[in-house]
Amino acid sequence: VQLQASGGGLVQAGGSLRLSCAASGNMETVYRMGWYRQAPGKLRESVANITNGGSKIYAEFVKGRFTISIDSAMDSAKNTLTLQMNSLKSEDTAVYYCNANSYVPETYWGQGTLVTVSS
């Protein structure tokens, strides 16, 4: 499974960004995809994830502001995972990573995309 994240950048507080993660490869075994983030000096944390059944879970600190979605069935040979981020805060500044979990079991990571929110 290959994951390619994009869409990060610099935005003012209160603004919006849309992150995308292009997924390809042996997607038949993937049952969950999600976004994580890691701020400088902090541990990587889960932001949001979505299962192959469509269930979504959000971290408390992004509820009501971020939306995770996927453009096709998770087991499609190619799909795009999206994170729409609204009402951004300076504390949302971090490197954002897309992630996929498979039944193999195996965990896959994208290369990360930097989001910087200026106050």
pLDDT of 34 > 90? The answer is: yes
Cβ atoms of 97 and 112 closer than 8 Å: yes
Residue 51 pLDDT grade (very low, low, confident, very high; cuts 50, 70, 90): very high
Max CA distance (Å), the chain: 43
pLDDT value for 74? 84
Check if the beta carbon of residue 79 is closer than 8 Å to that of residue 70.
yes
